[in-house]
Structure 1
Amino acid sequence: MCRDLQEARRHVLVTELASKLLLSRHRPIVLLPKRAEAGLAEQVAPGSADLGIMLPYTPLHVLLLEQGPATLVMTSGNVSEEPIAIGNEEAIERLATIADYFLLHDRDILVRNDDSVLAPSGTQPVFFRRSRGYVPLPVMLREPGESVLGVGAELKNTVCLTRGRMAFMSQHVGDLSNVAAVEAFKDTIDRLQRIVDARAVCVGVDMHPDYPSTGWAESLDIPRVYVQHHHAHVAACLAEHGESGKAIGLALDGTGLGTDGAIWGGEVLLADLESFQRMGHLGYVRMPGGDQAARQPWRMAVSYLIEAFGAEWQRHCPQSLLAIDASRRQAVATLVERGFQAPWTSSTGRLFDAMAALCGLHLEAKFEAQAAMALEMTAGQAMHDDDVWPVSWGSGEVLCLRSSSFIRHGVEDLRKGVPISSVAMRFHRSLAEAFVNVCVVVRERTGCELVAAGGGSMQNRLLSSLLVRGLRSRGFRVLVPERLPPGDGGIALGQAVVARTRWTKLGVN
Structure 2
Amino acid sequence: MANRVTIVDAMAGDRTIRRFRLRVRGVVQGVGFRPFAFALARKMGLSGFVLNDNAGVLIEVEGFGADAFARAVKTDAPPLSRIDTIEAHEIDTNGLTGFEIRESVGGKSATRIGADAATCRDCLDELFDPESRFFHYPFVNCTHCGPRLTITRRLPYDRAQTSMAGFVMCPACRADYENPLNRRFHAEPVACPACGPKLSHSVAEIAQAIRAGQIIALKGIGGFHLLCDAENENAIATLRRRKARDEKPFAVMLRDVAAAHRFAEITDAETALLESPAHPVVLAASQGNLPHGIAPGLTRVGVMLAYAPVHHLLLAALEEGSNVPVLVATSANPGGEPLVASNEDAHRRLSGIADLIVTHDRDIVVRADDSVMQIVAQAPAYLRRARGYVPEPVDLGSDGPSVIALGSDLKNTICVTRGREAYLSQHIGGLDNAEAIRFQRETVAHLCSILDVTPDYAACDLHPDFRSVRLAEGLDLPLIRVQHHVAHIAAVVAEHHLAGPVTGLALDGHGYGPGGTIWGGERIDLDGADWTHKGGLRPLPLAGGDKAAREPWRMGIGALYQAGREDLARALFASHPMAEKLISLFGLGMRVGLTSSMGRLFDAAAAIAGVRLVQHYEGQAAMEFEAMVTAPEVLADGYSLTGGQLDFMPLLIHLAENHVTVAESANLFHGTLIAGLAEWIAATRSPLDQGRVVLSGGCIMNRVLAEGLVNRLEAQGLTVFLPRAAPANDGGIALGQVAFARHVIEKHKLHSEEIETCA
Task: Measure, in 2, the Cα distance between the counterparts of 1:389 and 1:203.
Answer: 48
CA-CA distance at 1:186 after TM superposition = 0.8
Q: Secondary structure at the match of 1:387?
A: coil
Contact 1:230 1:251 in 2 (8 A): yes
Matching residue within 228, 234, 238 for 2:493: 238
How big is each residue's C-alpha offset from its partner over 1:301-330, in whole Å with a ceiling of 9 and x where there is no partner? 01101122x2x41345454x22212x5443
Q: Residue 334 of structure 1 aligns with which residue?
A: 585
Contact 1:299 1:332 in 2 (8 A): no
Q: Residue 304 of structure 2 aligns with which residue?
A: 54
Residue 313 in 1 paired to residue 558 in 2?
A: no
Q: Secondary structure at the match of 1:112?
A: coil
Contact 1:298 1:363 in 2 (8 A): yes
Residue 225 in 1 paired to residue 475 in 2?
A: no
Correspondences of 1:98-247 after superposition (within 5 Å):
98-247=353-502
CA-CA distance at 1:260 after TM superposition = 3.4
Residue 299 in 1 paired to residue 554 in 2?
A: yes
Q: Residue 387 of structure 1 aligns with which residue?
A: 634
Task: Measure, in 1, the Cα distance between the counterparts of 2:261 and 2:610.
Answer: 33
Correspondences of 1:448-467 after superposition (within 5 Å):
448-467=690-709
Q: Secondary structure at the match of 2:514?
A: coil
Shift of the 332–453 alpha-carbon distance from structure 1 to 2, 3 Å rule, reads same
Contact 2:337 2:436 in 1 (8 A): yes
Contact 1:135 1:169 in 2 (8 A): yes
Which amino acid in structure 2 is aligned with residue 402 of structure 1?
A: D
Task: Measure, in 2, the Cα distance between the counterparts of 1:56 and 1:393.
Answer: 50
TM-score where L is the length of structure 1: 0.94
Q: Residue 603 of structure 2 aligns with which residue?
A: 353
Task: Measure, in 2, the Cα distance between the counterparts of 1:13 and 1:336.
Answer: 50
Which amino acid in structure 2 is aligned with residue 466 of structure 1?
A: G
Q: Secondary structure at the match of 1:98?
A: coil
Task: Measure, in 2, the Cα distance between the counterparts of 1:220 and 1:194.
Answer: 15
Residue 469 in 1 paired to residue 708 in 2?
A: no
Task: Measure, in 1, the Cα distance between the counterparts of 2:460 and 2:587.
Answer: 31
Q: Which has the higher helix share?
A: 1
Which amino acid in structure 2 is aligned with residue 240 of structure 1?
A: E
Shift of the 276–391 alpha-carbon distance from structure 1 to 2, 3 Å rule, reads farther
Which 10-residue stretch deviates more, 358-367 or 128-137? 358-367
Matching residue within 10, 20, 28 for 2:280: 28
Contact 2:343 2:359 in 1 (8 A): yes
Contact 1:286 1:339 in 2 (8 A): no
Contact 2:396 2:420 in 1 (8 A): yes
Count of matched residue positions in the alignment of Structure 1 and Structure 2: 494
Contact 1:435 1:467 in 2 (8 A): yes
RMSD (Å) for aligned C-alpha atoms: 1.7
Q: Residue 52 of structure 2 aligns with which residue?
A: none
How big is each residue's C-alpha offset from its partner over 1:145-204, in whole Å with a ceiling of 9 and x where there is no partner? 000011100100001101111000000000111111011111111111011111211111
Contact 1:303 1:333 in 2 (8 A): no
Task: Measure, in 2, the Cα distance between the counterparts of 1:263 and 1:156.
Answer: 18
Task: Measure, in 2, the Cα distance between the counterparts of 1:336 and 1:498.
Answer: 44
Unaligned runs of 5+ in 2: 1-252, 320-324, 749-753
Q: Secondary structure at the match of 1:323?
A: coil
Matching residue within 253, 257, 262 for 2:512: 257
Which amino acid in structure 1 is aligned with residue 438 of structure 2?
A: E
Which 10-residue stretch deviates more, 386-395 or 492-501? 386-395
Task: Measure, in 2, the Cα distance between the counterparts of 1:315 and 1:395.
Answer: 25
CA-CA distance at 1:477 after TM superposition = 1.0
Correspondences of 1:281-292 after superposition (within 5 Å):
281-292=536-547
Task: Measure, in 2, the Cα distance between the counterparts of 1:162 and 1:338.
Answer: 50
Task: Measure, in 1, the Cα distance between the counterparts of 2:377 and 2:495.
Answer: 19
Contact 1:284 1:346 in 2 (8 A): yes
Q: Residue 745 of structure 2 aligns with which residue?
A: 503
Shift of the 76–348 alpha-carbon distance from structure 1 to 2, 3 Å rule, reads same
Q: Secondary structure at the match of 2:477?
A: coil
Which structure has the greater CA radius of gyration?
A: 2
Contact 1:288 1:335 in 2 (8 A): no
Q: Residue 12 of structure 1 aligns with which residue?
A: 264
Residue 407 in 1 paired to residue 652 in 2?
A: yes
Q: Residue 86 of structure 2 aligns with which residue?
A: none
Q: Residue 440 of structure 1 aligns with which residue?
A: 682
Task: Measure, in 2, the Cα distance between the counterparts of 1:444 and 1:184.
Answer: 42
CA-CA distance at 1:444 after TM superposition = 6.3
Task: Measure, in 1, the Cα distance between the counterparts of 2:424 and 2:380.
Answer: 18
Shift of the 335–223 alpha-carbon distance from structure 1 to 2, 3 Å rule, reads farther
Q: Which has the higher strand share?
A: 2
Which amino acid in structure 2 is aligned with residue 358 of structure 1?
A: I
How big is each residue's C-alpha offset from its partner over 1:333-391, in whole Å with a ceiling of 9 and x where there is no partner? 52586353x22100000000011111111100000000010110112xx31x5333424
Unaligned runs of 5+ in 1: none
Q: Secondary structure at the match of 1:125?
A: strand
CA-CA distance at 1:452 after TM superposition = 0.5
Matching residue within 426, 439, 451 for 2:668: 426
CA-CA distance at 1:89 after TM superposition = 2.0
Question: Which segments of structure 1 move beyond 6 Å, counting only runs of 4 or more?
Answer: none
Q: Residue 364 of structure 1 aligns with which residue?
A: 614
Q: Secondary structure at the match of 1:10?
A: coil
Task: Measure, in 2, the Cα distance between the counterparts of 1:157 and 1:450.
Answer: 28
Which 10-residue stretch deviates more, 61-70 or 353-362? 61-70
Q: Residue 19 of structure 2 aligns with which residue?
A: none
Q: Percent identity?
A: 39
Shift of the 315–250 alpha-carbon distance from structure 1 to 2, 3 Å rule, reads closer
Shift of the 26–202 alpha-carbon distance from structure 1 to 2, 3 Å rule, reads same
How big is each residue's C-alpha offset from its partner over 1:427-460, in whole Å with a ceiling of 9 and x where there is no partner? 1111111111111112366565210110000000
Which amino acid in structure 2 is aligned with residue 153 of structure 1?
A: S
Shift of the 105–487 alpha-carbon distance from structure 1 to 2, 3 Å rule, reads same
Contact 2:641 2:680 in 1 (8 A): no
Q: Residue 9 of structure 2 aligns with which residue?
A: none
Task: Measure, in 2, the Cα distance between the counterparts of 1:224 and 1:339.
Answer: 38
Which 10-residue stretch deviates more, 154-163 or 400-409? 400-409
Which amino acid in structure 1 is aligned with residue 284 of structure 2?
A: L
Contact 1:236 1:490 in 2 (8 A): yes
Shift of the 430–387 alpha-carbon distance from structure 1 to 2, 3 Å rule, reads closer
Contact 2:640 2:648 in 1 (8 A): no
Contact 1:288 1:332 in 2 (8 A): no
